[in-house]
Chain A
Amino acid sequence: AQSVSQHNHHVILSEAASLELGCNYSYGGTVNLFWYVQYPGQHLQLLLKYFSGDPLVKGIKGFEAEFIKSKFSFNLRKPSVQWSDTAEYFCAVTTDSSYKLIFGSGTRLLVRP
């Protein structure tokens, strides 16, 4: 069965530090990849997505992610985090032409001012 793994469950950083959150998926076919963010008390919002083309995708708020097909990975990065980036981040995939999202377990990011 398809699955998504996020290895970091909790990450604590100071402002201006660089961020990289890992995401790996298990599926040999075509995938669409997503990163969603959930700020405290708010609903899930889309940060960025990859369907095809350039494997380095840029999203909102300075986030980017790189799809490495050979590693089945889609890691999220930000060169310099802010306190306002404190949130929970979810990696998710859809496989083939299905609309069903399969979520990772999430990573809670705390950015200290």
Chain B
Amino acid sequence: GAVVSQHPSWVICKSGTSVKIECRSLDFQATTMFWYRQFPKQSLMLMATSNEGSKATYEQGVEKDKFLINHASLTLSTLTVTSAHPEDSSFYICSLNIASETQYFGPGTRLLVL
């Protein structure tokens, strides 16, 4: 399966600051990556689909101006949480699929906004 990395693995920031999370595909080129959010004791919720070279597709209820996604290359997608607030504290996970209709997940990034 594909190897997916995320950086950082955890981050603590002050309210009002912006945080960038990177998702890298280490051994495959991915035209599509996905970003999920997982609140404590809850399931993964798809936030957006990241498309290489074009705009991301956001799920209903997800603010595109708050969660900026950039997919500038076939191996890197970034999620920037702008003006983060405590309610944005969560576990952010990226994934990608490579022609097999199976998604491979990154290890996740835990964000804590104080």
Binding site for B on A (CB under 8 A): 32, 34, 36, 42-46, 49, 51, 90, 94, 99-106
Contact = CB atoms under 8 A, between A and B. Distances in A.
Contacts of A51: 101
B103 A99 contact: yes
A61 B1 CA distance: 16
Nearest to A34: B102
B46 A90 contact: no
Interface residues of B, number: 21
Interface stretch (B62-70, B74-82, B105-113): B105-113
Given A46-B1, A90-B43, A99 B101 contact: yes
Interface string B84-114: 0000000001010100011111111000000
B101 A94 contact: yes
Q: Max chain A CB contacts within 10 Å: which of B1, B34, B49, B105?
A: B105
B43 A103 contact: yes
Determine the main DSSP class of B at the interface with A. Answer: strand
Q: Which 8 A-B pairs have the closest CB atoms?
A: A44-B105, A43-B107, A103-B43, A105-B43, A103-B44, A43-B105, A106-B43, A99-B97
Given A32-B101, A99-B101, A43 B108 contact: yes
Contacts of B34: 99-101
A103 B36 CA distance: 11
Q: Max chain A CB contacts within 10 Å: which of B34, B45, B102, B107?
A: B102
Nearest to B1: A46
A90 B44 contact: yes
A101 B46 contact: yes
